[in-house]
C-alpha cells in the first residue's frame, strides 16, 4: 500500500484522527479491528481496509479518493472546532480523553435504520442486529460481505421477514421507515435543509422515530452538526457537568461536543465514579421501594 493504485489512497494530513476512537464510539457499527490494529468495514458497496500509522491514513478498496475524504470529513477543520470546545473544562477533559474522534458522514438511509435498531439496545447487540440485517437483506459484495440493504428491498419485505433478525418490536419501525423513504414521504434532501426542530419533527413522521433517533440520523447521516442526540449517557453527563444544558455558543457544533461527551461519560476511567454512584443510587432506591411494600 505504498503508493496510490487504482483504489488505494493515502491521506497525509489526518488532523489527529484516531480510528479506534472514531470507529468504536457508537456512531457506526460496521467496522472491525484486526489483531494488528487495522480496520475493515463497508461503505456503500465497497469493502474498505484502513491503516493509520504516524498520522497517515492508508486506505484500500474504496471507490474514489473523494469518497473517503468525504466519509472522514477531512475538509472540516477539527483543530479549530476542538479549540472552541476546549474553553469548557469538561469538554476539554473529554477531548483530551479521546481527541481523535471525528463525526463520520454516513449514508442517510443506513443511519436511519441503524439508529432505529439502536433504541433500548446496547452497542454490542446493535452491531449484531445491523450485521444480521445486511446478511439477510443486503447485496453480497464479497466473501461473507454484505452491503447495507436499500430502501427498495426493505420496503418490499414484510414485518415477519424483518423480525427474523430478532429485532423485536423494531421490525415494524423499519418497515415504516423504508416505505416512507421509498415513497419519498421522507426525503433526505428536505431533512437536511430544514431548521433543526422542523427536521426532527419531519423525521418523526416515521413510526418509531422520536427526537433521539431523529437527531442521530441528522448528525451521523446528514452531517447536521447542530443535532444533539440525548440518550441515557448524555443525560448522565448533563446531570453531572451541564445541569443547565450545553453553552448556547456551542449550538452550531453541539453534535460534535455530544460525541466527545458520550465517549467520555461512558468509558473514561475518570468518570467511573459517576457510573458507580448512579448504580448505588439505583440500588438504594430499589431497597427503599421494597421496604415500603412490606
Partner DNA sequence: AGCCAGGACAAGT
Partner DNA sequence: ACTTGTCATGGC
What is the binding site for DNA (CB under 7 A)?
Answer: 25-27, 115, 118-126, 128, 163, 166-169, 204, 206-214, 216, 229-234, 258-259, 262, 266, 279, 282, 286
Nearer to DNA, 9 or 88 (CB): 88
Minimal distance, residue 7 CB to DNA, in Å: 29
Nearer to DNA, 65 or 211 (CB): 211
Find all residues with CB under 8 Å of 275, minimum gap 6, and list them: 236, 265
Minimal distance, residue 259 CB to DNA, in Å: 6
Nearer to DNA, 47 or 162 (CB): 162
Minimal distance, residue 265 CB to DNA, in Å: 10
Minimal distance, residue 285 CB to DNA, in Å: 9
Cβ atoms < 10 Å from Cβ of 140: 11
Find all residues with CB under 8 Å of 74, minimum gap 6, and list them: 11, 13, 14, 15
* Cα end-to-end span (Å), the chain: 69
Length of the chain: 294
Minimal distance, residue 251 CB to DNA, in Å: 16
The Cα 148–Cα 131 span in angstroms is: 9
The Cα 113–Cα 176 span in angstroms is: 10
R_g over Cα of the chain: 20
Minimal distance, residue 279 CB to DNA, in Å: 6
Minimal distance, residue 123 CB to DNA, in Å: 4
Nearer to DNA, 66 or 235 (CB): 235
Nearer to DNA, 32 or 125 (CB): 125
The Cα 62–Cα 40 span in angstroms is: 11
User: For residue 227, how many C-alpha atoms fall within 13 Å in the half-sphere facing its CB?
Assistant: 29
Nearer to DNA, 88 or 262 (CB): 262
Nearer to DNA, 36 or 122 (CB): 122
The set of cell numbers assigned to 208 is: 418509531
Amino acid at each position: 500500500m505504498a503508493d496510490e493504485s487504482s483504489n488505494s489512497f493515502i491521506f497525509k494530513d489526518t488532523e489527529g484522527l484516531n480510528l479506534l476512537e472514531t470507529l468504536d464510539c457508537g456512531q457506526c457499527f460496521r467496522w472491525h479491528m484486526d489483531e494488528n490494529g487495522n480496520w475493515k468495514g463497508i461503505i456503500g458497496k465497497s469493502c474498505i481496509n484502513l491503516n493509520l500509522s504516524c498520522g497517515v491514513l492508508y486506505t484500500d478498496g474504496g471507490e474514489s479518493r473523494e469518497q473517503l475524504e468525504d466519509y472522514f470529513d477531512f475538509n472540516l477543520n477539527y483543530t479549530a472546532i476542538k479549540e472552541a470546545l476546549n474553553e469548557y473544562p469538561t469538554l476539554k477533559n473529554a477531548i483530551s480523553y479521546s481527541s481523535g474522534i471525528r463525526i463520520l458522514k454516513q449514508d442517510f438511509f443506513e443511519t436511519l435504520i441503524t439508529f432505529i435498531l439502536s433504541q433500548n439496545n446496547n452497542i454490542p447487540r446493535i452491531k449484531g442486529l445491523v450485521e444480521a440485517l445486511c446478511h439477510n437483506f443486503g447485496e453480497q459484495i464479497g466473501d461473507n460481505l454484505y452491503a447495507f440493504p436499500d430502501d427498495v428491498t426493505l420496503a418490499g419485505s414484510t414485518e415477519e421477514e424483518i423480525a427474523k433478525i430478532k429485532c423485536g418490536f423494531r421490525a415494524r419501525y423499519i418497515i415504516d421507515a423504508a416505505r416512507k423513504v421509498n415513497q419519498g414521504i421522507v426525503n433526505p434532501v428536505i431533512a437536511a435543509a430544514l431548521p433543526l426542530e422542523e427536521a426532527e419533527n419531519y423525521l418523526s413522521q416515521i413510526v418509531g422515530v422520536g427526537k433521539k433517533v431523529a437527531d442521530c440520523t441528522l448528525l451521523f447521516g446528514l452531517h447536521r452538526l447542530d443535532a444533539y442526540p440525548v440518550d441515557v449517557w448524555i443525560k448522565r453527563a448533563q446531570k453531572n457537568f451541564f445541569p443547565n444544558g450545553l453553552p448556547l455558543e456551542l449550538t452550531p457544533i453541539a453534535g460534535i461536543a455530544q460525541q466527545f461527551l458520550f465517549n467520555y461519560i461512558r468509558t473514561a476511567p475518570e468518570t467511573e465514579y459517576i457510573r458507580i454512584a448512579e448504580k448505588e443510587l439505583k440500588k438504594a432506591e430499589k431497597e427503599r421501594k421494597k421496604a415500603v411494600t412490606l
